Amino acid sequence: MRARAELVFLYSSEEEAELVARLLELDNRMAPKGIKVRTEPLGREVITRAEHPSVGTLFATIDDLLFCEKLIDEMMRL
């Protein structure tokens, strides 16, 4: 069985969503081996889908993703 998660972030513009998606996708490249992580913009939303057999690994990846998104969001507001 594989654990799956989908996270959706909403931004004020499509341009902002596209920028965040690109930055998160860069971080996705550092994900643990065997985890599938994909981030893409869709209008003003950024959607990340992750999948892995281990729920613990998936939760750790989600935690990292949330931290990165928060950091990106705070930096864009400077």
Q: What are φ and ψ of residue 58, in 5° steps?
A: -65, -45
Q: What are φ and ψ of residue 43, in 5° steps?
A: 65, -125
Total domain count, the chain: 1
pLDDT category, 77, cuts 50, 70, 90? Answer: confident
Query: Is the pTM above the cut of 0.75?
Result: yes
CATH, residue 65 = 3.30.310.50
Q: What is the pLDDT of residue 10?
A: 97
Q: Mind giving me the DSSP string for the chain? A: --EEEEEEEE-SSHHHHHHHHHHHHHHHTTSPTT-EEEEEEETTEEEEEEEES-HHHHHHHHHHHHHHHHHHHHHHT-
* Per-residue model confidence as pLDDT tens digits over 21-73: 999 999 898 887 889 999 999 999 999 999 999 999 999 999 999 999 999 99
Domain assignment of residue 72, given as a range: 3-76
